[in-house]
Amino acid sequence: MKSIRDDIARKGILVSDGGWGTFLVAAGLGAGECPELWNVEHPDVVRNIAKSYADAGADIIMTNSFGGSRITLEPHGLARRAPELNEAAARLSREIAGNTLHVLASMGPTGKLLMMGDVAEEQLYEAFAEQAIALERGGADACSVETMAALDEAAIAVRAVKENTALEVVASFTFNMRTDTGYRTMMGVSIADMAAGMLNEGADILGANCSLGPVEMIEVIRDLRAAAPAVPILVHPNAGMPHRADDGGITYPETPQMMASRVPELIKAGANIIGGCCGTGPDHIRAIAAAVRDGLHSAGKS
Amino acid sequence: MDDILQRIATCIERGKVNATSPYPPDLKGQDGAHELTKAALEMGVSPSEVLAQGLVVGMNSIGRKFSENKVFVPDLLMASKAMQAAMVHLKPFFESGEAKHRGTFIIGTVQGDLHDIGKNLVSMVMEGGGWEVIDLGVDVSTEKFLDALKSHPGSAVGLSALLTTTMVNMEKTVAAVRTQHPDTKIIVGGAPLTAEYAKKIGADAYAPDPQGALDYLVGAVA
């Protein structure tokens, strides 16, 4: 098993990948269809997404398993296929990553709120454990518990991965509002509370993904680094907020060059893994990878 | 009388459901929205006054703090639990016609999208604002919105989407509602949306938060 942390200790900065959903939609995934089902029904499409990021220069390839817990698969009638769909997700990314790149498996939130009694803690734990075990079996090196907003759900997810697999765990939250005292998730979790809570559960890497663009992410990463001085930090910004294109589709304002231009500031703020979330594609990752190489090159010279 | 209405409003804003509820800790052991609403009605306060000066005041206050990022989703959820506990006592008066809603609001998450947290928050704030809410759930087709408008003519409509891959489905629904019910007020909201996007797809308003939806409709309809 390849350790992302060891690799960061050696190289300083790693590049991860960009969005997956837009690719699937472009390949014909219909609204309301289950993306994870494509791991078995259209494996070539999924493999092709992974390959496009590997070709773009990513060191870390993610997986098509964001909604792969049995709780999120349930409305699609696929809850019982969670082990199969997650294992396939990890295997497809591993086929492309080979022995040289890391496979970081995605685990998103369930959409259920513990505080409202939508779901019991044991149900969440079982669902995340089942997903993580399958992802490990498929060949993942690490799990990213990502796009989290609630501290309780994320803590259960991190614990479920740590207690049932040997995978490294990234805990990545979505901060989306600025208050007088800094950024918060929609559930009101501050950056400091997130860092303390996730380190307490044994998270190996902390992160922030989705919602915010690269400029706001610089502030988030700076605060996250202050709250957690000793762990690697991942950042996956969105390519800004979506706009309506003339054909009724969606476009994002941040070009690959615009995002890449923020790489030095993201690194200075404390990021160790830089990729993208919604609206980012292989061109963004290629530009980010080039900016990271340039940064390391000039840092080596100085 | 003013005192008990003020206390109902406070219980709702603070999320104090009933006397046995341990939350919030500083109100432990005291009567909550459930007991106080019951008592107010027994004292002879009219259901309309309980609604307007108790429930609506409390929900309005928490809804506004939520828009200002002073409180967060858990606070709004607790407040709506307390609001629901009070609403149980008002329901018979709405059914008998003794109390009237401010209007009817049809809401749903658009086709292809299974997310319901945002949609539910808007439903709660609208209900707490005195509106009758027809919640069509998630993955709601254009036809379902049109059917609901047929059964509840004159309603306003709210569309929710969390995903960029499903927000594009709003446009079709907005266009169909416009064509068949030209006077309907349509509000859209959700994480990836912007006022600019709402305007481009022909919605009347973009609500950045639940209170924004309520404020718009109170201004537009009242």
pLDDT reported for residue A295 = 81
Neighbours of A300 (CB within 10 A): 8
Tens of pLDDT, residue by residue over B5-33, are 999 999 999 999 999 998 899 999 999 99
Domain A4-301: give its CATH superfamily. Answer: Homocysteine-binding-like domain (3.20.20.330)
Residue range A289-297: average pLDDT?
Answer: 88
With 90 as the cut, is the pLDDT of residue A115 above it?
Answer: no
Tens of pLDDT, residue by residue over A152-167, are 999 999 999 999 999 9
pLDDT reported for residue B55 = 97
Give the DSSP per-residue string, chain A.
---HHHHHHHHS-EE----SHHHHHHTTPPTT--GGGHHHHSHHHHHHHHHHHHHHT-SEEE-S-TT-SHHHHGGGT-GGGHHHHHHHHHHHHHHHHTTTSEEEEEE---S--GGGTSS-HHHHHHHHHHHHHHHHHTT-SEEEEEEE--HHHHHHHHHHHHHH---EEEEEE---EEETTEEE-TT--BHHHHHHHHHHTT-SEEEEESSS-HHHHHHHHHHHHHH-TTS-EEEE--SSS-EE-TTS-EE-S--HHHHHHTHHHHHHHT-SEE---TT--HHHHHHHHHHHHHHHHHHHH-
pLDDT reported for residue A302 = 44
Give the DSSP per-residue string, B111-170.
TT----HHHHHHHHHHHHTT-EEEE--SSB-HHHHHHHHHHSTT-EEEEE---HHHHTTH
Helix (H) or strand (E) holding B65: helix B56-67
Strands A60-62 and A168-173: unpaired
Query: Which among B74, B111, B192 is the nearest to A32, CB-wise?
Result: B111
With 80 as the cut, is the pLDDT of residue B155 above it?
Answer: yes
Confidence of residue A30 (pLDDT cuts 50, 70, 90): confident
pLDDT reported for residue A150 = 96
Among candidate residues A48, A59, A43, A44, the one with its CA nearest the CA of residue A97:
A59
Task: Report chain A residues touching chain B, CB-CB < 8 A.
Answer: 21-22, 25, 29-33, 75, 111, 113, 115-116, 149, 176-179, 184-188, 211, 241-244, 248-250, 278-279
Query: Which among B70, B74, B169 is the nearest to A187, CB-wise?
Result: B74
Beta-carbon separation of B72 and A25 below 8 A = no
Q: How does the average pLDDT of chain A come out, rounded?
A: 95
Tens of pLDDT, residue by residue over B80-109, are 999 999 999 999 999 999 999 999 999 999
Tens of pLDDT, residue by residue over A41-56, are 999 999 999 999 999 9
Class of domain B2-96: mainly alpha
pLDDT reported for residue B151 = 97
Q: Indicate the domain borders of chain A.
A: 4-301
CATH classification of B104-221 is 3.40.50.280, yes or no?
A: yes
Output A177 or A265, whichever has higher pLDDT.
A265
Q: Indicate the domain borders of chain B.
A: 2-96, 104-221
Beta-carbon separation of A241 and B192 below 8 A = yes
Output B161 or B164, whichever has higher pLDDT.
B161
Confidence of residue A181 (pLDDT cuts 50, 70, 90): confident
The ipTM assigned to this model is: 0.87
- pTM for this structure? 0.93
B120-147 burial code (b ≥16 CB/10 A, e <16): bbbbbbbbbbbbbbbbbebbbbbebbbe
Tens of pLDDT, residue by residue over B32-78, are 999 999 999 999 999 999 999 999 999 999 999 999 999 999 999 99
With 70 as the cut, is the pLDDT of residue A1 above it?
Answer: no
